[in-house]
């Protein structure tokens, strides 16, 4: 059953990813390493089992469980293609509510079941809007199942698999808030309850958690380089009303936060504006061509707003600043679609 489930989930996830390859809107999450921590509730399904003894036959039973808890942590790597591969550690604990033998009434049973899981997960993120994504994934690994009762305690290791679905919301460029659901199934564990007596039972559970995911990759700090090849066609600029000053701020991939170098450039522009009494300041955000045009338009506008807010924080009057976004329509370096280019991920500051 476990093998069939995992095979079906892997085939389904692969088929979905192939189907989305051309249709996806390239949410463009920051690639690289990340760390996630999460916690929540765990429900074990009623388990059918049997007590196996040296004699003929076995004694069937059914166990019911109280609602338990779960904590998990994962470290993973995200590619710009929206795929993630992660290693996950988890701990789940549930108390046994009652046990019925041979179809009889369910009586109280003082025991708890804890499970320590180690999983490798493959996850695909589907963009829903600028900050919200839906995640679908599957995992394979191992489960250390421990049953602790007054007269026995035993641990056994079994193979395990899981299906994952989640919603992720980008709180900042580096932190995601997410909620995950996991359907987890393991090969039937067999626990030693007495000499020559084993209890085997079904092991399936549902886990719902909420957590935070932290981007561990350092922000890009690109150096300005003169573009090679033909200059982009941007149309004639409006005639300046006085001496103009031009500044360029660069951003990391899919980032809107200002790096240390970017803060220095904005500070220089703010000082010049205040000293020279600039009447008008135009801040224009830009992106490279990785991602959909709709997403990049929003990203460029957010970059422009971040620069404007920093100028205002440094003492430049807000009513003298206009912030606009141009998306991927005014490339500093001409590239094909879906091409990384750090010089195109920028915002310009023009003082007039």
What are the pLDDT digits (tens) for 99-134? 999 889 999 999 999 999 999 999 999 888 767 889
Whether residues 185 and 80 share a domain: the answer is yes
Does residue 234 fall inside a structural domain?
A: no
Whether residues 270 and 308 share a domain: the answer is yes
The pLDDT of residue 244: 55
- CATH of residue 314's domain is 3.30.1330.60
Residue 106 φ/ψ region, left for φ over 0, alpha for ψ in the -120 to 50 degree band, beta for the rest: beta
The pLDDT of residue 327: 92
Whether residues 265 and 178 share a domain: the answer is no
Q: Which structural domain, as residue segments, surrounds residue 306?
A: 245-351
Whether residues 164 and 43 share a domain: the answer is yes
The pLDDT of residue 298: 87
Whether residues 75 and 128 share a domain: the answer is yes
The pLDDT of residue 7: 43
Query: The pTM is what?
Result: 0.64
Quote the CA–CA distance of 62 and 59 in Å, as a whole number: 10
Give tens-digit pLDDT for 156-213: 999 999 999 999 998 877 889 999 999 999 999 999 988 888 999 999 999 999 999 9
Does residue 300 fall inside a structural domain?
A: yes
- CATH of residue 160's domain is 2.40.160.20
Distances (CA, A) of 154 to 39, 56, 157, 332: 25, 24, 10, 65
Does residue 99 fall inside a structural domain?
A: yes
The pLDDT of residue 293: 85
The pLDDT of residue 171: 86
As for how many domains the chain has, the answer is 2
Distance of CA 129 to the CA centre of its chain: 14
Whether residues 296 and 200 share a domain: the answer is no
Whether residues 178 and 256 share a domain: the answer is no
Whether residues 293 and 204 share a domain: the answer is no
Does residue 230 fall inside a structural domain?
A: no
Does residue 236 fall inside a structural domain?
A: no
Whether residues 203 and 250 share a domain: the answer is no
The pLDDT of residue 17: 41
Ranges in the chain, pLDDT < 50: 3, 7, 10-11, 14-28, 220-237, 239-241
């Amino acid at each position: 059953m476990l093998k069939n489930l995992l095979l079906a989930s892997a085939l389904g996830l692969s088929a979905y990813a192939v189907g989305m390859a051309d249709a996806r809107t390239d949410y463009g999450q920051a690639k690289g390493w990340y760390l996630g921590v999460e916690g929540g509730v765990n429900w074990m399904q009623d388990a059918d089992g049997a007590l196996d003894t040296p004699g003929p036959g076995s004694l069937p039973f059914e166990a019911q469980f109280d609602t338990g808890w779960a904590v998990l942590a994962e470290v993973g790597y995200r590619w710009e293609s929206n795929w993630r591969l992660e290693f996950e550690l988890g701990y789940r604990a549930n108390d046994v509510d009652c046990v019925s033998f041979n179809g009889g009434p369910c009586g109280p049973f003082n025991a708890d079941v804890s499970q320590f899981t180690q999983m490798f997960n493959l996850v695909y993120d589907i963009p829903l809007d600028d900050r919200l994504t839906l995640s679908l994934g599957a995992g394979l690994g191992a489960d250390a199942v421990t049953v602790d009762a007054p007269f026995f305690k035993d641990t056994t290791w079994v193979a395990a698999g899981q299906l994952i679905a989640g919603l992720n919301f980008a709180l900042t460029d580096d932190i995601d808030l997410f909620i995950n659901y996991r359907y987890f199934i393991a090969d039937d564990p067999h626990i030693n309850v007495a000499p020559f007596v084993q209890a085997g039972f079904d092991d399936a559970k549902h886990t719902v958690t909420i957590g935070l995911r932290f981007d561990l990759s350092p922000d890009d700090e690109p150096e300005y380089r003169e573009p090679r090849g033909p200059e982009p066609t941007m149309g004639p600029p409006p005639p300046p009303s006085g001496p103009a000053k031009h500044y360029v701020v660069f951003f990391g991939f899919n980032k809107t936060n200002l790096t240390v170098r970017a803060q220095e450039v904005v500070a220089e522009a703010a000082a010049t504006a205040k000293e020279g009494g600039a009447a008008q300041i135009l801040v224009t955000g830009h992106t490279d061509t990785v991602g959909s045009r709709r997403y990049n338009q929003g990203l460029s506008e957010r970059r422009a707003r971040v620069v404007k807010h920093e100028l205002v924080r440094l003492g430049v009057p807000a009513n003298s600043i206009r912030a606009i976004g141009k998306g991927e329509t005014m490339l500093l370096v001409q590239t094909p679609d879906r091409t990384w280019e750090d010089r195109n991920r920028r915002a310009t500051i023009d003082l007039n």
